[in-house]
């Protein structure tokens, strides 16, 4: 495995982390501190976790709010469209949940109590991220994060199904009152939207979901103890260490807590889901019926949920 190639990005990532999470060691860790970063800071993570919680709370309202009329659909549609974009902060939410686990946090700090043990632990994780599960409290935290993720995905699926069902009912009423209008719509490009298939997603396979959670645990560990990351990118302990497998692990970490300008995979996926919804609405750009927007938003919910377990 080649050494992490871009020294500027390495310095940027490491410097920001160290400035956010100062750590004292018996041996000094050499690093270059710069202002820019592709990694979320702790304050960013907490802010984004709050945005995610607020989004889930608003989407939760979709389980019980009235969806009987076109006006009901419009109100629900506005609420959901405002909330869904903040689902991109799911990884921030999971990291913050993990940071609050005192048992796991203590185990991380004990495993990285000095520069020697930190280097050793970084090597172990680069070789096999599943080694994180050997820490005290890790399996309990793994189960907790898995339940949180599965619960949120199930919520999105349930709200999408309810919104689709309500849209079908409003569409039927509209068809009964305006059969000529519906007949005309079915002859143009809007037909695909009117018949939009919104299906329930299957649960993520156990393997991939556990892989996602494992990387979350590693990410939580490096936020608790940023020197782990410094070693992985080669800026810690004299900047002379090259760890086989580190570049792959670093890429996965950045994919979880990179900024939107970085390489956050969830944010990238959510952007695609947003574009898909916009394309759905554009397909019916001459239609102002509430149930059409509801179909597009229902699919948007499912796509956003799929991003959380992708």
C-alpha Rg value of the chain to the nearest Å: 23
Q: Answer whether residue 189 is part of any domain.
A: yes
Q: Is 289 helix (H, G, I), strand (E, B) or coil?
A: coil
Tell me the per-residue pLDDT of 182-206, one tens digit each, with 9 for 90 and over.
Answer: 554 444 444 444 444 444 444 445 5
In a domain, 2, yes or no: no
pLDDT given at position 177: 58
Two tokens, residue 246: 């580190």
Confidence of residue 24 (pLDDT cuts 50, 70, 90): very low
Domain range for 127: 7-308
What average pLDDT does the segment 120-134 reach? Answer: 94
Q: Give Cα 274 to chain centroid, integer Å.
A: 14
**pLDDT averaged over the chain?**
78
CB 198 within 8 A of CB 295: yes
The count of domains in the chain is 1
d(CA 18, CA 209): 30
Burial 136-154 (b: 16+ CB within 10 A, else e): ebbeebbebbbebbeebbe
Has residue 124 got a pLDDT over 60?
yes
CA distance 187 to 182: 9
Residue 140: pLDDT over 90: yes
Query: What six digits make up the tokens of 95?
Result: 């990291």
Q: Which of 14-23, 87-96, 182-191, 251-260 has the highest mean pLDDT?
A: 87-96
Q: In the predicted model, what is the mean pLDDT of residues 267-292? A: 77
Q: Which two tokens stand for residue 196?
A: 């939009």
Best CA proximity match to 307, nearest among 49, 141, 85, 81? 85
Could you tell me if 9 and 32 are in contact, meaning their C-beta atoms sit under 8 angstroms apart?
A: no
Residue 112: inside a domain, yes or no?
Answer: yes
Q: Is residue 116 part of a domain?
A: yes
How far is residue 116's CA from residue 240's CA, in Å, rounded to a whole number? 14
216 φ/ψ angles, rounded to the nearest 5 degrees = -60, -40
Contact predicate 249/125, CB 8 Å: yes
51 in any annotated domain: yes
pLDDT in tens, 142-187: 999 999 999 999 999 999 999 999 988 888 887 655 554 455 444 4
Residue 303 covered by a domain: yes
Give the pLDDT score at 12.
39
pLDDT confidence bin for 39, thresholds 50/70/90: confident
Which among 305, 239, 222 has a CA at the least distance from the CA of 4?
239
Q: Is the pLDDT of residue 287 over 80?
A: no
The pTM (predicted TM-score) of the whole model is 0.79
How many C-beta atoms lie closer than 10 Å to residue 15's C-beta? 19
| pLDDT tops 70 at residue 41 | yes
| pLDDT at position 284 | 54
Assigned domain for 244 exists:
yes
Residue 1 in any domain: the answer is no
Q: Please tell me the predicted confidence (pLDDT) of residue 15.
A: 42
CA distance 227 to 141: 22
Q: What is the pLDDT of residue 31?
A: 34
Query: Which pLDDT value is given to residue 279?
Result: 82
pLDDT confidence bin for 9, thresholds 50/70/90: very low
- Among the ranges given (100-114, 205-219, 235-249), the one the predictor scored with the smallest mean pLDDT: 235-249
pLDDT in tens, 65-112: 999 998 999 999 999 999 999 999 999 999 999 999 999 999 999 999
């Amino acid at each position: 495995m080649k050494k992490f190639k871009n020294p500027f990005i390495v310095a940027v990532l490491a410097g920001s982390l160290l400035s956010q999470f100062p750590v004292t060691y018996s041996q000094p860790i050499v690093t270059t501190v710069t202002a820019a970063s592709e990694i979320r800071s702790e304050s960013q993570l907490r802010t984004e976790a709050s945005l995610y919680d607020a989004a889930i709370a608003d989407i939760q309202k979709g389980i019980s709010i009235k969806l009987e009329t076109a006006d009901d659909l419009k109100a629900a549609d506005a609420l959901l469209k405002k909330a869904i974009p903040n689902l991109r902060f799911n990884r921030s939410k999971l990291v913050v949940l993990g940071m609050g686990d005192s048992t796991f946090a203590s185990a991380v700090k004990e495993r990285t109590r000095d520069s020697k043990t930190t280097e050793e632990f970084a090597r172990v994780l680069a070789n096999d991220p599943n080694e994180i599960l050997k820490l005290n409290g890790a399996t309990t935290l793994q189960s907790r994060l898995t339940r949180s993720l599965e619960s949120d995905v199930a919520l999105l699926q349930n709200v999408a199904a309810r919104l689709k069902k309500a849209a079908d009912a409003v569409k039927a009423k509209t068809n009964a009152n305006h059969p000529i209008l519906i007949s005309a719509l079915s002859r143009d490009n809007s037909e695909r939207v009117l018949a939009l298939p919104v299906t329930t997603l299957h649960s993520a396979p156990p393997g991939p979901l556990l892989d996602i959670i494992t990387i979350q645990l590693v990410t939580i560990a490096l936020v608790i103890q940023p020197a782990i990351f410094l070693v992985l990118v080669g800026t810690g302990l004299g900047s002379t260490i090259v760890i086989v497998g580190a570049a792959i692990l670093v890429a996965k970490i950045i994919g979880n807590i990179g900024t939107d300008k970085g390489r956050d995979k969830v944010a990238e996926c959510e952007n695609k889901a947003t574009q898909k919804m916009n394309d759905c609405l554009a397909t019916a750009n001459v239609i102002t019926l509430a149930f059409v927007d509801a179909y597009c938003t229902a699919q948007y919910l499912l796509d956003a949920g799929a991003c959380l377990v992708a």
